[in-house]
Structure 1
Amino acid sequence: MDAKKRRRVGFANMADEGVEANECIKIFLVNNQDEVGLANGFCIDPIDLNHFFGEDGRIYGYKCLKINIWLSTVSFHAYADITHEGTFDGGKGITNLKPALQDIFGETLLEKSEFLQTFSTESNYIKSIITSGAVLQCYTSNKAVDSSDTHCNGSNGSTMEHQIVRMDLQSLPVGLLYSRLVPLTFLLIDGSSPIDVTDPNWDIYFAVKKMPSTSGDYCLSLLGFATVYRFYHHPDSTRLRLSQVLVLPPYQGQGHGRHLLESINSISITENVYDVTVEEPSEYLQYLRSCIDTLRLLDFNPIKQNLKSAVLSLEMNCVTKKASRSQVVPQNWIAEIVRQKLKINKKQFLRCWDILIHLKLDPNNCKSMENFKASISTRIKSEILGKDSDSKGKRLIEVPNEYDHDMTFVVYCPGGGEELENLDETIDGDRSAQEQQLNALVVKQMQAIDDIAKKDHCIGQVFVQIKAVEEFIILDLMQNPLQHFIVL
């Protein structure tokens, strides 16, 4: 029998189990056309590709399917290189790959020749748009320019300037740039959806890298961005809500996300908005946000006396007493001052308050640390079950979920004559199970507080050293002004 016929017969008899999209698709970020086609480029790790390919997230009808997608960091266009050893219908048809890939990349998905041309035709695309924005912050880095930044030749080894730039998303060029970034939000932000660029209440903040070029000019590379919405707050104010924050994977862990958040905080104070909130933050974003806000609060004088009293209460008293518990929680007027001056909303302030207390406590003082843990436990129980949960019969019930959460629970309160004994017969769990669930939440919260406190303690120590140096220089200048004048 002919070899080709034997191969076709073999495919026809194969049971097609399909392949998960996550297993056969790789996405590479490329900075120049020479990197296209190289398997050792910078490969990103998407949140989940499966949900773009049917209910089961599988691709059917291909033998040894490989999809390599090259995403340009110059123009943010994409090209998909699809290879396989043949197609067959194993009972579930042959997946049409093009519509699925277009669901992710939209109009940015180009044919190879057109994609390669963009590296030259759109080499200044980012610069042509970003230069019209308002520069909010500049910061420098002495790190050598990545070898991959070859679209900006001549900059290797130079000191780079980074900028945070704010722009109006309603501007047509900015809106088009954002539309090219949407695929990255699909790939890297869990549950992301595009924002309405025609809504005038949207702003976008870009983190960019400014590098000199061989022509004597400069070029800009996009490092990340954040989208912020302005909500009306009665009667005559606005609230800023942070919607999306994304730093491109090659530049993560270098502080660019922190500078984006700091710029948004600065704008909130300059423009005197009501406060700043975040829309469904990821765990890491909440961690970063809490680190930044805690450091801001460490130097905020109006709360220092109240914080000192809370720490003293934990060191001296037992927090199971109602009066002692009230001394640990900041008074409402303190939270209001923080909101007015720093634009930190009350919920976020209370998170940071726990971290501030943890920073001030002696970790070797067992009594104060136990009291601190007890105060966290009491507050969590109160938030979930209510202040009088024991008398009203509210129950914490763990329930299954389809997501990768540590636990999901609901609060149940029996009606009029319903007996708790009957409730226990129908619900898998009892009071001891409820206590275990609450304790697990407390342990998780304590770990989060400890992680942030450790990071902020290290950063705080650096700040203290910087301040000490600054004070020494000022004092030395006062004592020896002529000497410094001559040196300058």
Structure 2
Amino acid sequence: MAGVNAMEKKLSEYKCDTNEAICLKLVRFPEDIEDESTTFHPEYSHQLYGDDEVAFGYKGLQIQLYYSAGNLSTLFKVKYAAKVTEKFDCVEPDNVEGKIRKVIPMGFTCNTDDFVSLLEKEANFKPFGTLLHTYKVHNVEEGEDLTYQIHKARVSSPGFREYHERLQTFLMWFIETASFIDVDDERWDFFLIFEKYNKDGETLFATVGYMTVYNYYVYPDKTRPRVSQMLILPPFQGEGHGAQLLEAVHRFYCTSPLVQDITAEDPSENYVKLRDFVLVKLCQELPSFSTELLSEGFSDTMVTEACEKLKINKKHARRVYEILRLRVTDMSDEEKARAYRLDIKRRLFGPYKRNQRELTKMMKCLRPEELVSHINQLDTQLQHEELEKSYQELVEEYRRVIERLARA
């Protein structure tokens, strides 16, 4: 038994956290390759290395995936201090390299000198598609305003298919349930952000992030663009690029009379926060959302104007109204605060009432022992407590949006 435990202890030294082992870079200059400060790591690696996100068989494992900043030409190398087969003949290490090769497209190099040669060709890289929007962000470190561009591309753009294959590999590391899309479907739209920067007197472009949108058909002659995937690469997060991208995408589709409304597929919590901010920012300029009308309650006029001018559906328009009304409501005034609270709770109570009606119908055909398990669901006091909790959580979310609007 002692021998087994000793063996287990020795083998445990050959386990590596794959989120730490995978080293990612967006390389602009050759010196970035050895600069540790330019390295970032995945948030997730379970799709390749299992739920425990562990690779077995190596000490000091480092999986290098370095990309040129613009075209995303790829350097792929695997390094380690020791391998388990060198000490234990009967134990096989995980095929860490093979797993990476399944998701990165062909065309990568394993040679650093070749990668540096590819960096020299970055001056030839230009953003794909049509320029939609240009904006600036002040960089405190550099002490200057940096320029960014948002482009709309289609898969038919020359060179875009290969570029997108390299770009989408980042999804595996930063979106928990990511999957690759079928780019051959012409209903896909691609929106990309690039940073303009200078290198040896030349203007170059670095990839910042992107969004994919699928245009669903709506009978009889409209489409419903649905945001599928959105990612701002880690070195650029927290700088407002997501809001710029989502607003630019909304403004693009708003110009088309054939678009019914804009939705999102299985939105994450962070995406919902971002969408709240962008939609409130857009709607606050609409006449139907004026301060005077907000206090009168949610109206059909708001629904119509939000849909016709901004392609926002009724559900999202209602949420925007609630945020804007909170912003103009003096919550220290007991009467105004109560009116706002009741307005929100009436909407929140809808699902509770539907649930209660369904349970009442169901209880008529339940046996006594089944009735006991459902009776608690009709507890009015419990419902009121849950309703109050939901209301408080919602107001907290809304306040964060209002605070971000104030900063913007």
TM-score scaled by structure 1?
Answer: 0.72
Name the structure, 1 or 2, with higher relative contact order (CA <8 Å, separation 6+). Answer: 2
2:392 paired with 1:447: no
CA offset at residue 97 of structure 1?
1.0
CA offset at residue 301 of structure 1?
0.8
Cα RMSD between the aligned structures?
Answer: 3.2
What is the SS of the residue equivalent to 1:367?
A: helix
Indicate the residue corresponding to 2:71 in structure 1. 75
Q: 1:415 to 1:449 in 2, by over 3 A?
A: same
CA offset at residue 427 of structure 1?
9.6
2:377 paired with 1:380: no
Question: 1:15 & 1:159 partners in 2: Cα distance?
Answer: 52
Amino acid corresponding to residue 93 of structure 2 in structure 1:
I
What is the SS of the residue equivalent to 1:198?
A: coil
2:93 paired with 1:94: yes
Indicate the residue corresponding to 1:235 in structure 2. 220
Q: 1:158 to 1:350 in 2, by over 3 A?
A: closer
Indicate the residue corresponding to 1:301 in structure 2. 287
2:49 paired with 1:50: no
Q: Is the contact made by 2:65 and 2:75 (CA closer than 8 Å) also made in structure 1?
A: yes
Structure 1 portions without partners, runs of 5+: 1-9, 147-156, 313-327, 395-412, 460-488
Q: 1:135 to 1:83 in 2, by over 3 A?
A: same
Q: Which protein is bigger by CA-based radius of gyration?
A: 1
Q: 1:367 to 1:13 in 2, by over 3 A?
A: closer
Q: 1:359 to 1:54 in 2, by over 3 A?
A: closer
Indicate the residue corresponding to 1:262 in structure 2. 247
2:6 paired with 1:33: no
1:332 to 291, 300, 314: 300
2:156 paired with 1:170: yes
Q: Is the contact made by 2:227 and 2:263 (CA closer than 8 Å) also made in structure 1?
A: yes
2:326 to 349, 358, 378: 358
Indicate the residue corresponding to 1:393 in structure 2. 359
Aligned length: 396
Question: 1:420 & 1:430 partners in 2: Cα distance?
Answer: 16
Q: For 1:141-179, what per-residue CA distance to the aligned partner results, in whole angstroms no more than 9, with x for missing partners?
A: 454896xxxxxxxxxx77643222111123341121111
Indicate the residue corresponding to 2:337 in structure 1. 369
Amino acid corresponding to residue 116 of structure 2 in structure 1:
L
CA offset at residue 69 of structure 1?
3.7
CA offset at residue 27 of structure 1?
2.8
Higher deviation after alignment, 432-441 or 21-30: 432-441
Indicate the residue corresponding to 2:117 in structure 1. 117
Amino acid corresponding to residue 72 of structure 1 in structure 2:
S
Q: Is the contact made by 2:58 and 2:82 (CA closer than 8 Å) also made in structure 1?
A: yes
Q: Is the contact made by 1:226 and 1:244 (CA closer than 8 Å) also made in structure 2?
A: yes
What is the SS of the residue equivalent to 1:107?
A: coil
Question: 2:22 & 2:84 partners in 1: Cα distance?
Answer: 17
Q: 1:74 to 1:455 in 2, by over 3 A?
A: closer
CA offset at residue 358 of structure 1?
0.3
Q: Is the contact made by 1:170 and 1:199 (CA closer than 8 Å) also made in structure 2?
A: no
What are the within-5 Å matches in structure 2 for residues 189-268 of structure 1?
Answer: 189-215=175-201, 217-268=202-253
Q: Is the contact made by 2:58 and 2:80 (CA closer than 8 Å) also made in structure 1?
A: no
Q: 1:19 to 1:143 in 2, by over 3 A?
A: closer
Q: Is the contact made by 2:137 and 2:147 (CA closer than 8 Å) also made in structure 1?
A: yes
CA offset at residue 188 of structure 1?
1.7
CA offset at residue 423 of structure 1?
4.3
Amino acid corresponding to residue 288 of structure 1 in structure 2:
L
Question: 2:232 & 2:155 partners in 1: Cα distance?
Answer: 18
